[in-house]
A and B are shown apart, each in its own frame.
Chain A
């Protein structure tokens, strides 16, 4: 029973355009959501997060949107750069546990 799902295994965009990565979840008790980025042969690194009391959080080129009624969040990267090419993981947490539940990841390729 996968509680966090990233239904697009891969995404390819042109440099300078917007990248939109999507994530759906099933557990309404999740109160904190995060995006991690992973390069080959490295561990995931924290990118951006959002609390369930907000619907948007922005950090430079990265913006995360949360739609609680749809149990959906998305990560927007604009403008996309070739260095953004990586695997992006969506993750979620409930307040009564320290563990994160991850999605399967989406591989983003930004073409020069």
Chain B
């Protein structure tokens, strides 16, 4: 069974540019989460999809962040325009319905905004 796949693994952009991160969850996993870890701190929740619907987006920092999950399969997280404080590792995780607490994480996207 393929794991959670994230692309790209690294992204270096300048302040003001746009970046789109992609996540392919494990097949059959309806729950999809985005998390972010900044500078060795805690892993912070961003949002939660159940299939294509946003279940909880309370962790999204501001309206510069836009997440989509069209068709309930892969998800994208777009940051536009990027700011310096957006730098960090963005993790995607997925799980089956009813097993929401045991998340399977991708390797993350290291985003550096210069």
Contact = CB atoms under 8 A, between A and B. Distances in A.
Interface stretch (B14-22, B68-76, B97-105): B97-105
Given A43-B108, A89-B43, A102-B42, A97 B56 contact: yes
B71 to A, nearest CB: 20
A44 B91 contact: yes
B45 interface: yes
Interface of A: 2, 4, 32, 34, 36, 41-46, 49, 89, 91, 93, 97-105
28 contacts: A4-B42, A32-B101, A36-B105, A42-B107, A43-B4, A43-B105, A44-B43, A44-B103, A44-B105, A46-B103, A49-B101, A89-B42, A91-B43, A97-B56, A98-B50, A98-B55, A98-B101, A99-B56, A99-B59, A100-B101, A100-B103, A101-B45, A102-B44, A103-B42, A104-B40, A104-B41, A104-B42, A105-B42
Contacts of B48: 98-99
Nearest to B9: A41
A16 B105 CA distance: 29
